């Protein structure tokens, strides 16, 4: 939902989600610790190792989302107007495809997270679905290269920021956003592979 808002050209303001996400992830981490300690006589053993990895991935995703949110907000403030650099990125086909790929990756991983409530010795049903094995890394690489090529053609990015500040340098902001998007994609893929390897 948060990513969808930031990648929506019609959305004018940037709402920070780092506080809400931190609270949700911390709560999930606590529940995982409780599940690990509870007696499970009638259920399979709690998947503590893979759950801990999933929580770690969630923290990293939150960190990258928070970085991106701060970078694309005017004045680096919550509820700030979406920065011109982000508006420019949202007009490039390559970046729009990258945003779509994040959504596709998250939709692919979502059913796999159900492994944590699968408490029988039967094979986890989502693993028989071939789409769960889908990898988008090559397509993501091509989309990122296309976005970089489109951005490089933009003369507005050759201007320096205020008093040479990196914070206000348009090219630096583009690099931060693309880096965060790339890391989010990589993290979602790592989570997918971690869950698939655990079964």
Q: Is the dihedral of CA 95, 12, 174, 92 positive or negative?
A: positive
Instruction: Determine phi and psi for 95, rounding to 5 degrees.
Output: -70, -40
| Long-range residue pairs from 24-29, CB within 8 A, at least 24 positions apart, any chain | 25/55, 25/58, 25/59, 25/62, 28/55, 28/58, 29/55
pLDDT (mean) for 143-148: 85
Beta bridge partners of 80: 14
pLDDT (mean) for 31-47: 87
How confident is the model over 84-132, as pLDDT tens digits? 888 888 888 888 888 888 888 888 888 888 888 888 888 888 877 766 6
Whole-number Å distance between alpha carbons of 142 and 96: 12
Do residues 72 and 17 lie in contact, with contact meaning Cβ atoms separated by under 8 Å? no
Q: How far is CA 198 from the centre of its chain?
A: 22
Q: Which residues contact residue 152 at a Cβ distance below 8 angstroms, ignoring those fewer than 6 apart?
A: none
Do residues 161 and 169 lie in contact, with contact meaning Cβ atoms separated by under 8 Å? yes
- So what's the pLDDT on residue 53? 92
Under the banding of pLDDT at 50, 70 and 90, the label for residue 161 is low
Beta bridge partners of 13: 81
How confident is the model over 179-195, as pLDDT tens digits? 998 898 888 888 888 88
Cα angle value 27/30/33 (rounded, 5°): 155
């Amino acid at each position: 939902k948060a990513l969808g808002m930031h990648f929506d050209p019609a959305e004018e303001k940037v709402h920070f989600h780092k506080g809400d996400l931190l609270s949700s992830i911390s709560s999930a981490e606590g529940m995982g610790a409780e599940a690990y300690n509870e007696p499970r006589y009638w259920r399979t053993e709690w998947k503590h190792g893979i759950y801990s990895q999933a929580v770690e991935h969630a923290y990293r995703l939150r960190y990258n989302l928070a970085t991106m949110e701060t970078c694309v907000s005017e004045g680096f403030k919550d509820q700030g107007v979406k920065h011109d650099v982000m508006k420019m990125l949202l007009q490039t086909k390559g970046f729009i495809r990258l945003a779509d790929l994040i959504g596709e990756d998250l939709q692919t991983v979502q059913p796999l997270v159900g492994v944590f409530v699968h408490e029988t010795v039967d094979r986890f049903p989502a693993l028989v679905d071939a789409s769960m094995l889908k990898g988008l890394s090559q397509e993501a690489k091509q989309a990122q290269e296309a976005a970089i090529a489109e951005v490089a053609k933009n003369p507005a990015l050759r201007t320096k920021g205020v008093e040479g500040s990196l914070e206000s340098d348009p090219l630096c902001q583009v690099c931060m956003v693309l880096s965060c998007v790339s890391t989010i994609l990589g993290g979602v893929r790592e989570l997918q592979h971690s869950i698939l390897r655990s079964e």
